[in-house]
Amino acid sequence: MKNALPSTASQEVRIPLSTLFQPNNGAPTAAGPSCATTLRLDDALARLEREAQHGFCDTGRYRMPFYAWGEGPALVVIPGMADDRLAFATVCSRLAQHFCCIAYDLPTGRGDGARLGRIRHADLVADLLALLDTLRIRRCFVLGSSFGSTIALAAAHRRPERFDRLLLQGGFARRPLSLGEESLAAFARYWPWDMKELPLRKNTLRLSHYRGFERQPLEFWEFFLERCGDPPMAAVARRAMILQKLDLRPLLPNIHQPVLAICGDYDPIIGKDCEADLLAGLPHIARAEIEECGHMPQYTHPEILCEIVERFLGVKEGCEIG
């Protein structure tokens, strides 16, 4: 597994958005000729099974499933609250051409030995560092999705020498729960069922998220329902309860790595106030907005998400920050 980093990776620099994005009524929107390249879900899953190395990392708190796919600089993918390592299979199928993509699962308490009631946010950060140690990765890039973005931020603050650039997809430093969300999480953390058993789940998800899937084959929508329906409710609820007490805003001024916030233009989960916290607090941050996109570009806009990652991490022209 190679882990050579670009010579410019540790520079504290800023993205020239004019070379990355085309304006859309003043908002930066992802563009690029290779965004039209179609990524096929069935091909990505077959290649993942065939080409990637699959394993487990004993973090001391749980047995963490992960895969490592490709060669080059290490790019660690941290999933969101109800996602797992397979959610980024399509994205990693392309990024594996340039990076060693490492994606892993958060603790679920289902056969992994995790004691969910004892796990705190700091433990999730320590688990990420344990994975890097196990794989002997000294430095890496990191792509944190939604809840995973908070782990990326806290890890970059705790061990800045190990993280060169951060991509925060649907990211935030603080996202308190609504009263309804908090009440549901408080009860659901004791339920024995998987997320797919939640009453009215499909109808609720369709109202919130289907708009972004309208231009994708139906298989992407079905794959999204499968992946976010697989985790135990108790695990997702415990992660939500962690969020209720989490506020990383005091850490942001001391995170000096270059950061790119990747946002959907109508994200129903993360509001503009969450983005504003990152933009105001992080010293070296730029924002990329994907047009006609909600909270799940790894499912709805995988080609554009890959394009953004590749340019920010130095694979393509126009990505140099400075």
pLDDT tens digits, one per residue of 98-107 = 999 999 999 9
Query: How far is Cα 182 from Cα 174, in angstroms, rounded to an integer?
Result: 15
Q: Are strands 163-169 and 259-264 parallel, antiparallel or unpaired?
A: parallel
Please state, rounded to an integer, the average pLDDT across all residues of the chain.
Answer: 87
Those residues whose C-beta lies under 8 Å from the C-beta of residue 155, and which sit 6 or more positions away, are 125, 128, 129, 142, 162, 163
Least confident of 33-42, 52-61, 127-136, 249-258: 33-42
For residue 102, list its beta bridge partners: 68, 76
Q: Quote the radius of gyration of the chain (alpha carbons, Å).
A: 18
Higher pLDDT, 199 or 141: 141
Mean of pLDDT values over 6-14? 29
- pLDDT of amino acid 47: 96
Confidence of residue 9 (pLDDT cuts 50, 70, 90): very low
Structure confidence at residue 34 (pLDDT)? 42
- Structural domain that includes position 144: 17-176+249-312
Q: How confident is the model at residue 4 (pLDDT cuts 50, 70, 90)?
A: very low
Q: What is the mean pLDDT of residues 232-258?
A: 95
Angle between helices 218-229 and 201-209 (to 10 degrees): 130
Q: Among 36-40, 91-95, 225-229, 275-279, where is mean pLDDT lowest?
A: 36-40
| Helix-then-strand count for the chain, H and E | 12, 10
**What pLDDT, on a 0 to 100 scale, did the predictor assign at position 215?**
87
Output the pTM of the full model.
0.87
What's the pLDDT at 171? 97
Per-residue confidence band for 184, with pLDDT thresholds at 50, 70 and 90: confident
β-pair partners for 69: 101
Please choose, from the candidates 63, 61, 108, the residue with its C-alpha nearest in 3D space to the C-alpha of residue 84: 108
Residue 99 is assigned to a structural domain of this protein: yes
pLDDT for position 231: 92
Q: Is residue 198 part of a domain?
A: no
Whether 3 maps to a domain, the answer reads no
Q: Give the domain CATH number at 141.
A: 3.40.50.1820
Strand order in the sheet with 53-58: 21-24, 27-30, 285-290, 259-264, 163-169, 140-145, 74-78, 100-104, 63-69, 53-58
Pair of tokens at residue 59: 């973090």
103 in any annotated domain: yes
Distances 167 to 112, 182, 281 between C-alpha atoms, Å? 28, 28, 15
In this prediction, residues 137-143 reach a mean pLDDT of 97
In a domain, 217, yes or no: no
- pLDDT tens, 303-312? 999 999 999 9
Q: Rounded to the nearest 5 degrees, what angle is found at the Cα of 165, between the Cα atoms of 80 and 260?
A: 65
Q: Across-strand partners of 14?
A: none
- Would 135 be classed as within a structural domain? yes
Domain count for the chain:
1
CA distances from 98 to 173, 215, 275, 307 (A): 29, 27, 29, 12
Q: What number is the average pLDDT over the span 116-136?
A: 97
- The per-residue pLDDT for range 19-33, each reduced to its tens digit, is 343 333 333 434 333
Confidence bin at 37 (pLDDT 50/70/90): low
pLDDT recorded at residue 18: 35
Average pLDDT over residues 30-53: 77
Model pLDDT for residues 254-299, shown as the tens digit of each residue: 999 999 999 999 999 998 899 999 999 999 999 999 999 999 999 9
Q: Is the pLDDT of residue 252 over 90?
A: yes
Q: How far is residue 185's CA from residue 237's CA, in Å, rounded to a whole number? A: 5
Average of pLDDT values for 210-232?
93
- Look at residue 133 and tell me if it is in a domain: yes
| 47-83 per-residue burial string, b: 16 or more CB within 10 A, e: under 16 | bbeeebeeeebebebbebbbbbbbebbbbbbbbbbbb
What pLDDT score does 61 carry?
96
Q: Does residue 204 belong to any structural domain of this protein? A: no
Q: Is the model's pLDDT at 192 over the cut of 70?
A: yes
